[in-house]
Chains A and B, each alone.
Chain A
Amino acid sequence: MNTIWPQLEPLLANVQKPARYIGCEDGSQQPDHRPDRAAWLLIYPDTYEIGLPNQGLQILYEILNERSDAVAERTYAPWVDLEASLRAHGLPLFSVDTHRPADAFDLLAFNLSAELVYTNLLNCIDLAGVPVRAAERGPNHPLIVAGGHCTYNPEPLADFLDLVVIGDGEEVVGEISEVVADWKRSGRTEGSRAQVLRELSKVSGVYVPSMYDVTYDGEHLVAVTPRYADVPERIEKRTVADLADWPYPKRQLVPLTEVVHDRLNVEVFRGCTRGCRFCQAGMITRPVRERPADQVRTMINEGIRRTGYDEVALTSLSTADFSGIEKVVADTVNDPTRTNQVSVSLPSLRVDAFTVGIAAELQRGRRSGLTFAPEAGTWRMRQVINKLIREEDLYGAVESAYSQGWRRMKLYFLTGLPTETDEDTLGITELARNCAEIGRTHNKSASVTVSVGGFVPKPFTPFQWFGQNTVAELQRKVNLLRDDARRSRGVQLKWHDPKATMVEGIVSRGDRRLGPVIEDVWRSGGTFQEWSEKFDYQLWVDSMERHGLSIDWYVYRHRHEDEMLPWEHLSAGLHKDFLWQDWRDALNEVGLEDCRWTPCYDCGACTGYGIEHIVASARPPAGGSQGTGQDLSRGSMVPVTLLTKPSTSSTPSPTAPPVTPLGAGV
């Protein structure tokens, strides 16, 4: 077997947390590599603790290993101590499953969920012994692939990636495997690399940056043109039509050492149409596709039995919106056949849908932390971002939680949103103060932790035209909040470094000219930039300057309606005029309803691909304003076309069959 374990083993005794590099997890696989099987190395370019739980990577790991023409192993970015040791001894990046060298795989597939890991991607490619620039690779080098939410604007990484997958990955990884297995069987001869890339560019949802020429007029991008007639002008995202067909992961990995989100995760639905205008995930993952409640129950029961976890998280972008969520939670917590207690956690709770019922059920199991995300401090600001939570809904939810015995809660907010005034900013601490006060009526030591992130405009959102707040402006707002929080009993404030927010802004909406900047930062040692102790703001600023690129132009300026955006040759289905109208509506403080319970406003995500929402209940969840902008007090049925499961005949478009990014899941 091709493994570097004998050489690696002596090095592991001298690195921090060596269990990150041994594999051996329950659920890990030792696939049989063969000359006719495309070998994928799935890479999460951050530490094992952060990457292991990633559901998207785990889903693809299983799907690929079930195929007869593919095998998949996993790896994560080695921490700096092991990296130095590997380099000192001439050892390459390796898979954690069989410790096979990375360059013995046909595809190195990265999951990109955050901008600050881009330099780690370059570092992993280099550590694999592969040239970081795509143009310098030969037939013996693996193909470098990326997927995940960040790849909706892959342009800053265009110089380094051979191919990019846009959208859900479940189906497209199979189609890519077929092409690559053929290439492998043919012996990967000289000159065949360009050929296989050309072939791959025809797979729906696959973008091959080297097949496109980019034209600028001065600083403005004016065209992205395919170099060949058979290469598509526009790359459409992939969407799996029905989550019921993809009950993955079936054997969730259970790590030997501590990781984040160390619990059973069951994805209850994908997509969200609440329409929060800052939220890229909610825009690019449409439509809503609920997993059937029975399948959710089966996945919970089998998962708990198999893993031994005592906590299950029901994941999605807004889990309280799942039809019949209360029943699923109740059934899980109260299952009489289980000898051990199981607690349920619901990440991404919308405060308005947080009913007393769910709180009571959750409390019966062990109590986990409670997090709410009002996102903005005033009603006006929440109208701008279309997160229409009324204060009384939040207070109702908070009252409910504290009265059931919780003592601490976390509130998430964004600052630096479009049209934000100081009054809006200070609304954050005011809300938190009021929540803490409610808490104190139940418990003297009640406290509220406020977590504030700087807003970064993302591609394919109505805010993609907005000029991000400067570092100085964000810092000023953080200072306002910090001073106000100090005066507020029971309120603790945490904030994201405004400088890191700026760097995220550079790559979030950047173009191909940023490639040399990212490469520079990496070459200067700038890895693990998402770790505050490793983040180096000056490296980025200096590198931008060295390459004659203006931070003001890329990050801070408002963009024009007629300006070509660097990701316009990619499509998330959303019509540009829909997004522009929603941007105008935002500035006018006009809300937009949730189309899962109201008539379609044709954003393009369903109509373009011939797919629809799959929602079990036509009725919005009870209680509060629900953020739908509707008067829900009547509680009447909202007219809406619903499919329990689309039949194959009613789901046309085999060309754009509806896809999990390489970074699927939540």
Chain B
Amino acid sequence: MRVRFRFAKLGKVRFTSHRDVARLWERALRRAELPVARTEGFSPRPKMHFGLALSTSHESLGEYLDVDFREPESASLDLAGLPGLLTPLLPEGLTVEAAAPIATSDTSLQQAVTICSWTIEALGLDVAAANEAVSALLARDEVMVTRQRKGHDVTDDIRPYILHLAVIGPIPGVLSPSGDHTIAPAGSLLEAELATQPRGLRPAELLAALEPPATEGRVRRTHQWITFDDARTEPLSVDAMSTMPAPARAS
């Protein structure tokens, strides 16, 4: 049986990498002594499938992980109890919000998710300047940007990736202990919806495309979306009780 977990990554633990989080999950599943299915071979690994990688230092309210459980033991899994069982076995800040079975034929998380919602701190731009920069960016038909992908420079139009962008308020700066200089400048908080395919647009790349550009402060992924037809759903919504049947499928 394949179970999809939804979890949050908030606070200090945001500085762990995607790989770190995978290892933390692996260990938590072992500590819970859950019947996780393993790959065959010389060095068997647990069968776990992660969604879109979250950059080190970014927070998230909606991360996903699919785990395969062994048959027939999976039949006796207490799905509703899984979040409460696993959260204490994960470091503070990684919180399991929901778990529900999905079909193994479902499209992988990485392919299924097409849009992510974000809140992004744009440092160095006050609200007025940020509003101006955002309006100017949204007014353009084409925003050609050169960025690195897999070690190569690629140049493409990032405008189609920006589905929504707005300034939602100011954020304060951080002063040194003596109070005499700025460690992180004040700025504005943006909310954005960015497409993930084919290449995806990273928050830092979005900020760099603003005129004038802003520095990235705290970034939080708030949602991941699967779209089909004109509707969008989350891979597993927070209120999806673990006992509910699998959500509707995109494929």
State whether these chains interact.
yes
The reply on A89 being an interface residue by CB < 8 A is yes
The reply on A12 being an interface residue by CB < 8 A is yes
B12 touches A257 (CB 8 A): no
CA distance A310 to B38 in the complex (A): 14
A19 touches B91 (CB 8 A): no
Looking at the assembled complex, report how far the CB atom of A49 sits from the nearest CB atom of chain B, in whole angstroms.
12
Looking at the assembled complex, report how far the CB atom of B241 sits from the nearest CB atom of chain A, in whole angstroms.
27
CA distance A7 to B19 in the complex (A): 26
CA distance A26 to B90 in the complex (A): 9
What B residues does A305 contact at CB under 8 A? 31
A19 touches B177 (CB 8 A): no
What A residues does B26 contact at CB under 8 A? 308
The reply on B184 being an interface residue by CB < 8 A is yes
CA distance A366 to B44 in the complex (A): 8
CA distance A6 to B175 in the complex (A): 9
A91 touches B176 (CB 8 A): yes
What B residues does A23 contact at CB under 8 A? 12
CA distance A10 to B35 in the complex (A): 40
The residue in chain A whose Cβ has the minimal distance to the Cβ of B19 is A258
A256 touches B20 (CB 8 A): yes
The residue in chain A whose Cβ has the minimal distance to the Cβ of B33 is A339
Q: What per-residue 1/0 map shows which CB atoms of B85-107 lie under 8 Å from chain A?
A: 00001011100000000000000
**Cross-chain contact of A19 among B20, B175, B178, B217 (Cβ < 8 A):** B20
| Residue count of chain A within 8 Å CB distance of chain B | 35
What A residues does B30 contact at CB under 8 A? 308, 310, 340
Looking at the assembled complex, report how far the CB atom of A367 sits from the nearest CB atom of chain B, in whole angstroms.
8
Looking at the assembled complex, report how far the CB atom of A373 sits from the nearest CB atom of chain B, in whole angstroms.
25
The reply on A22 being an interface residue by CB < 8 A is yes
CA distance A6 to B27 in the complex (A): 30
B20 touches A89 (CB 8 A): no
CA distance A258 to B16 in the complex (A): 10
What B residues does A21 contact at CB under 8 A? 15
CA distance A61 to B183 in the complex (A): 32
Contact (A308, B31) CB under 8 Å given A13-B57, A256-B13: yes
Looking at the assembled complex, report how far the CB atom of A442 sits from the nearest CB atom of chain B, in whole angstroms.
16
A22 touches B12 (CB 8 A): yes
The reply on A24 being an interface residue by CB < 8 A is yes
Looking at the assembled complex, report how far the CB atom of A19 sits from the nearest CB atom of chain B, in whole angstroms.
5
The reply on A90 being an interface residue by CB < 8 A is yes
Q: What per-residue 1/0 map shows which CB atoms of A362-402 lie under 8 Å from chain B?
A: 00001100000000000000000000000000000000000
The reply on B23 being an interface residue by CB < 8 A is yes
A19 touches B16 (CB 8 A): yes
A24 touches B174 (CB 8 A): no
The reply on A11 being an interface residue by CB < 8 A is yes
The reply on A164 being an interface residue by CB < 8 A is no
The reply on A18 being an interface residue by CB < 8 A is yes
A307 touches B56 (CB 8 A): no
B27 touches A10 (CB 8 A): no
A309 touches B177 (CB 8 A): no
A10 touches B217 (CB 8 A): yes
CA distance A307 to B91 in the complex (A): 12
CA distance A88 to B174 in the complex (A): 14
The residue in chain B whose Cβ has the minimal distance to the Cβ of A342 is B30
Among A19, A91, A254, A366, which residue has the most Cβ atoms of chain B within 10 A?
A19
What A residues does B175 contact at CB under 8 A? 7
B23 touches A24 (CB 8 A): no
**Cross-chain contact of B57 among A4, A12, A258, A309 (Cβ < 8 A):** A12
What B residues does A13 contact at CB under 8 A? 15, 57, 216-217
**Cross-chain contact of B177 among A11, A91, A307 (Cβ < 8 A):** A91
CA distance A17 to B18 in the complex (A): 12
Looking at the assembled complex, report how far the CB atom of A354 sits from the nearest CB atom of chain B, in whole angstroms.
22
**Cross-chain contact of A11 among B13, B17, B183 (Cβ < 8 A):** B183
Contact (A339, B35) CB under 8 Å given A10-B184, A89-B176, A308-B27: yes
Looking at the assembled complex, report how far the CB atom of A657 sits from the nearest CB atom of chain B, in whole angstroms.
38
What A residues does B17 contact at CB under 8 A? 17, 19, 257
What A residues does B177 contact at CB under 8 A? 4, 7, 90-91
Looking at the assembled complex, report how far the CB atom of B186 sits from the nearest CB atom of chain A, in whole angstroms.
12
What A residues does B93 contact at CB under 8 A? 24
Within 8 A of B (CB), among A474-517: none
What B residues does A257 contact at CB under 8 A? 16-17, 20
The reply on B226 being an interface residue by CB < 8 A is no
CA distance A67 to B43 in the complex (A): 43
The reply on B28 being an interface residue by CB < 8 A is yes
Q: What per-residue 1/0 map shows which CB atoms of A1-38 lie under 8 Å from chain B?
A: 00010110111110001110111111000000000000
A24 touches B12 (CB 8 A): yes
B181 touches A308 (CB 8 A): no
| Residue count of chain B within 8 Å CB distance of chain A | 35
Looking at the assembled complex, report how far the CB atom of B214 sits from the nearest CB atom of chain A, in whole angstroms.
14
The residue in chain A whose Cβ has the minimal distance to the Cβ of B185 is A10
CA distance A17 to B56 in the complex (A): 8
The residue in chain B whose Cβ has the minimal distance to the Cβ of A341 is B44
Within 8 A of B (CB), among A398-443: none
A256 touches B24 (CB 8 A): yes
CA distance A133 to B94 in the complex (A): 44
**Cross-chain contact of A26 among B57, B91, B178 (Cβ < 8 A):** B91
**Cross-chain contact of B13 among A24, A306, A307 (Cβ < 8 A):** A24
Among A4, A257, A307, A367, which residue has the most Cβ atoms of chain B within 10 A?
A257
**Cross-chain contact of A258 among B15, B23, B44 (Cβ < 8 A):** B23
What B residues does A6 contact at CB under 8 A? 174
Contact (A18, B15) CB under 8 Å given A26-B91, A340-B30: yes
Looking at the assembled complex, report how far the CB atom of B89 sits from the nearest CB atom of chain A, in whole angstroms.
7
B28 touches A308 (CB 8 A): yes
What A residues does B13 contact at CB under 8 A? 22, 24, 256
Among B12, B44, B177, which residue has the most Cβ atoms of chain A within 10 A?
B12
Looking at the assembled complex, report how far the CB atom of A470 sits from the nearest CB atom of chain B, in whole angstroms.
43
Within 8 A of A (CB), among B27-81: 27-28, 30-31, 33, 35, 42-44, 56-57
Looking at the assembled complex, report how far the CB atom of B148 sits from the nearest CB atom of chain A, in whole angstroms.
17
The residue in chain B whose Cβ has the minimal distance to the Cβ of A25 is B91
Looking at the assembled complex, report how far the CB atom of A487 sits from the nearest CB atom of chain B, in whole angstroms.
31
What A residues does B57 contact at CB under 8 A? 12-13, 18
Within 8 A of A (CB), among B177-198: 177-178, 181, 183-184
Within 8 A of A (CB), among B134-167: none
The residue in chain B whose Cβ has the minimal distance to the Cβ of A256 is B16
The residue in chain B whose Cβ has the minimal distance to the Cβ of A16 is B56
Contact (A24, B33) CB under 8 Å given A10-B217, A258-B20: no
The residue in chain A whose Cβ has the minimal distance to the Cβ of B184 is A10
The residue in chain B whose Cβ has the minimal distance to the Cβ of A405 is B42
Among A7, A24, A310, which residue has the most Cβ atoms of chain B within 10 A?
A24
B23 touches A10 (CB 8 A): no
B176 touches A24 (CB 8 A): no
Between-chain CB contacts (< 8 Å), 29 pairs: A4-B177, A6-B174, A7-B175, A11-B183, A13-B57, A13-B217, A18-B15, A18-B57, A19-B16, A19-B17, A19-B20, A22-B12, A22-B16, A24-B12, A24-B92, A25-B91, A26-B91, A89-B181, A89-B183, A90-B177, A256-B13, A256-B20, A256-B91, A258-B19, A258-B20, A305-B31, A307-B31, A309-B27, A341-B44
Report B's interface with A, CB cutoff 8 A: 12-13, 15-17, 19-20, 23-24, 26-28, 30-31, 33, 35, 42-44, 56-57, 89, 91-93, 174-178, 181, 183-184, 216-217
Report A's interface with B, CB cutoff 8 A: 4, 6-7, 9-13, 17-19, 21-26, 89-91, 254, 256-258, 305-310, 339-341, 366-367
Given pairs A21-B15, A308-B31, 15 additional interface contacts (CB within 8 A): A10-B183, A10-B184, A19-B20, A24-B91, A25-B91, A89-B181, A254-B27, A256-B91, A257-B20, A258-B23, A308-B30, A341-B44, A366-B43, A366-B44, A367-B42
Query: 5 closest Cβ contacts across the A-B interface?
Result: A308-B27, A10-B184, A308-B31, A18-B15, A13-B57
